[in-house]
Amino acid sequence: MLNQSYRQNQRVSAEHQQFLYLTTTGRKTGKPHKIEIWFVARDRKYYLVSEQGDRSHWVQNLKSDPKISFTVGKDTYRGRGRVIDRKKESELAAKITALMNAKYKWSEGLIVELAPARSRVGARGPAVLPSVVLRASRFAHIEP
């Protein structure tokens, strides 16, 4: 039950964020390239739309090296990015377009999917919190 509640809180948190901060590796410089961009979340993945399509530097960087990191709210993730092929993945593209239109009233461009790795950057354990049961076996009074 704790796991389900935690996942729901994470989803609600992401849905209320206006921007995602994506970092790609510059294909020419090898240096981090960070952008602020609109996004939607669906099925534990994040979707962005590039208005400039393949001409956007961040898209070119991602195609050259799909390893990315991104921040949503207070959570930072590592993962991989890929361009969605609207013809081959028309159902997914339609769903993302509808989500973008509902959130921002805009959805024109190239859709990019960000798939986070299993855990958040800096997390000390699994991304999903384990359930814990505590039982008291003895009580003791401790003087300050």
What is the Cα–Cα distance from 97 to 30, expressed in whole angstroms? Answer: 32
Q: What is the mean pLDDT of residues 47-73?
A: 97
pLDDT of residue 136: 40
- Residue 41 sits in a domain whose CATH number is 2.30.110.10
Instruction: Find the domain containing 54 and state its range.
Output: 2-120
pLDDT of residue 38: 97
Residue 137 lies in a domain: no
For the chain, the domain total comes to 1
53 neighbors 81 (Cβ within 8 angstroms)? no
Residue 133 lies in a domain: no
Residue 136 lies in a domain: no
67 pLDDT more than 80: yes
Most confident segment among 3-12, 52-61, 114-123, 127-136:
52-61
Name the residue with higher pLDDT: 90 or 1.
Answer: 90
130 pLDDT more than 70: no
pLDDT of residue 29: 97
Residue 132 lies in a domain: no
Residue 139 lies in a domain: no
What is the Cα–Cα distance from 30 to 128, expressed in whole angstroms? Answer: 32
The CA distances from residue 16 to 6, 42, 98, 124, in Å, are 16, 13, 17, 25
Residue 134 lies in a domain: no
Name the residue with higher pLDDT: 94 or 3.
Answer: 94
Q: What is the mean pLDDT of residues 25-54?
A: 97
Residue 80 lies in a domain: yes
Residue 138 lies in a domain: no
